Chains A and B, each alone.
Chain A
Amino acid sequence: MQALSIRGLTKTYRNGVQALRGVDLDVEQGDFFALLGPNGAGKTTLIGIITSLVNKTAGTASVFGYDLDRELERAKSCIGVVPQELNFNQFESPLTIVINQAGFYGIPRPVARARAEKYLRQLQLWDKRNGMARALSGGMKRRLMIARALMHEPRLLVLDEPTAGVDIEIRRSMWDFLNDINARGTTIILTTHYLEEAENLCRNIAIIDNGQIVERDRMSNLLRGLHTETFVLNLRVPVPAAPLVAGFPITLVDAQTIEVEVSKEQSLNGLFAQLAALGHEVQSMRNKVNRLEEVFMRLVEHKSAHG
């Protein structure tokens, strides 16, 4: 079953900006789906339409088979949303915020109280439940929005940059939490600017640019399509110039750091063998950029270049 099915979705704002240009998109039930795109590509507009915060201009969308035009209440009952911007009452307590949100989805108070404890504990907010929400740190506020979105146990969770501005430790704990929720059956759609996050979490991906889907594939297929990767190598002994290695373009970054472009047909063993033969010892190695970032940049730049 499709958790989300979109056909011909178009949005033109009153100022004439065409944010979406006939988007078609399907997200399977149970998927952990990445929706990526540069700023202004249309991601937030798309999510806004799905969550009823933005009126569409044309097209259709359905959530678990419930059409947004004909069965809006049923469709919205299936969705939980964590928006990009903070949107809770900063003068209320986290406990009040999540219990009220459950009420808006028809969850009776006794059930809401039990769920509030469950999710606030899981997201390490239980100790802060009675203070004012505005006193929470940035990371806590993000986690509060996740707890709030889960209060009605939605079948589809939409996360619009949920880890923006969150430190790496909390971000990773949020990844574990989201993976766990997804493993228990909740479909997740994630937009993020941290491409490492999308690569680590998501099985399928769509890239949106200029209001259109420019790529839609499995994450693994997309990464396999990467023809070359750039590696950064640290050498034990400084070198005066970039070593000349047949078949591998190398540039010198500094005396002990070189960058090597390796195509997917080539073997790293060959590179290391040649470097060893030249007397260079490699101390450490890393990708210059995240692999998904490389694919993303190529797709977006390619489409921009071709209009």
Chain B
Amino acid sequence: MAEAHATAPVPAPASAAPSLHATRWIGFATIVIREYSRIVRIWGQTLVPSAVTAILYFVIFGSLIGRRVGQMGGFDYMQYIAPGLIMMSVITNSYGNSVSSFFGAKFGNHVEELLVSPLPNWIIVAGYATGGLVRGMMVGGVVTIVSLIFARLPVQHLGLIVAAVLLTSLIFSLGGFINAVFAKNFDQVNWIPAFVLTPLTYFGGVFYSVAMLPPWARALSHVNPILHMVNAFRYGFLGVSDVSVAGAFAIMGALVVALFIAALQLMNRGVGIRD
């Protein structure tokens, strides 16, 4: 039978290969669409829990405890914590999406679909970061709607709100991606959220103003980047902040760039994905 094919076959007419630019753009869009489809497909895991958690926070911290707290920063306690709660859900979900999706792709070996494709690593990183951003925005939107049931939210600086939430979401998407690159098992996927993100978020000014803290604790809090993100976001709504808003955006911008470069370097070196 091998002899039957001794004559070299006629080459197939080359179908027009897409340009590199088109490949990158369509590839990027495909990663984002795939991430969006995943978020929607498992909505019970991705969208609902944060809404339920937000309702619980508003009922317990806002309605029950908040009445006794009184005003903070010149606003009702419920209004004061609402931006922080929205930001907390954005942080958790942006991180969670990238880490679970990319680690799942590694664990199930289907990360190879991307690695054998002609997409450059920066597109893969950008695609997953945008996937985390999409989930962060979707969940942030749901929690915002929940917030509006419990508190009236004024908008002082819409542009700052959008910029702060986008940058924060990107930062944690990229962080989740880097976590997934290093993770070798599901425990390592959960360590950072449990032992780093949660404490930083709770000490990041979501529920209180750092002005209430003693000087040493206030100074220590300023090292926590989440404090700057939450306050920049809150400033957009309420016009009050415990930190310099310009400084907060500088920190966020620097973190996005630094984490993107770090993620790209890891991909280029093949850490956790190529031997």
Residues of A within 8 A of B (CB): 13-14, 28-32, 51-55, 72-74, 76-77, 79, 81, 83, 85-90, 96, 100-101, 103-108, 148, 153, 155, 179, 182-186, 199-203, 219-220
Contact = CB atoms under 8 A, between A and B. Distances in A.
Contact of A203 (B6, B33, B105, B116): B6
Nearest to B10: A185
A179 B5 contact: yes
Chain A binding site: helix, strand, loop or mixed by DSSP? loop
Contacts of A186: 12
Interface in B1-45: 1-3, 5-6, 8-15, 17-20, 22-27, 29-31, 33-34, 37
B231 to A, nearest CB: 39
Kindly name the residue among A76, A96, A105, A148 whose own CB sees the greatest number of chain B CB atoms within 10 A.
Answer: A105
B6 A74 contact: no
Size category of the binding interface on chain B: 35 or more
Contacts of A203: 2, 5-6
Nearest to B110: A89
Contact of B116 (A29, A53, A90): A53
B2 A202 contact: yes
A55 B6 contact: no
Contacts of B3: 220
Given A105-B27, A219-B2, A73 B20 contact: yes
B117 A105 contact: yes
Contact of B108 (A54, A55, A90, A106): A90
B5 A104 contact: no
A108 B27 CA distance: 9
A207 to B, nearest CB: 15
Contact of B118 (A28, A73, A86, A182): A73
B6 A87 contact: no
A33 to B, nearest CB: 12
A87 B275 contact: no
A85 B109 contact: yes
Contact of A74 (B10, B34, B116, B118): B118
26 contacts: A30-B8, A30-B9, A52-B115, A54-B274, A55-B270, A55-B274, A73-B23, A73-B118, A74-B118, A76-B117, A101-B117, A103-B26, A103-B30, A104-B117, A104-B118, A105-B18, A106-B22, A153-B12, A183-B9, A185-B13, A199-B1, A200-B2, A201-B1, A202-B2, A203-B6, A220-B3
B17 A87 contact: no
Contact of B30 (A55, A74, A85, A104): A104
Contacts of B116: 51-53, 76, 79, 81
Given A30-B11, A51-B116, 19 more contacts: A72-B118, A73-B119, A76-B116, A76-B118, A77-B17, A83-B112, A87-B110, A88-B110, A89-B105, A103-B27, A104-B113, A105-B18, A106-B20, A106-B23, A183-B5, A200-B2, A203-B5, A203-B6, A219-B2
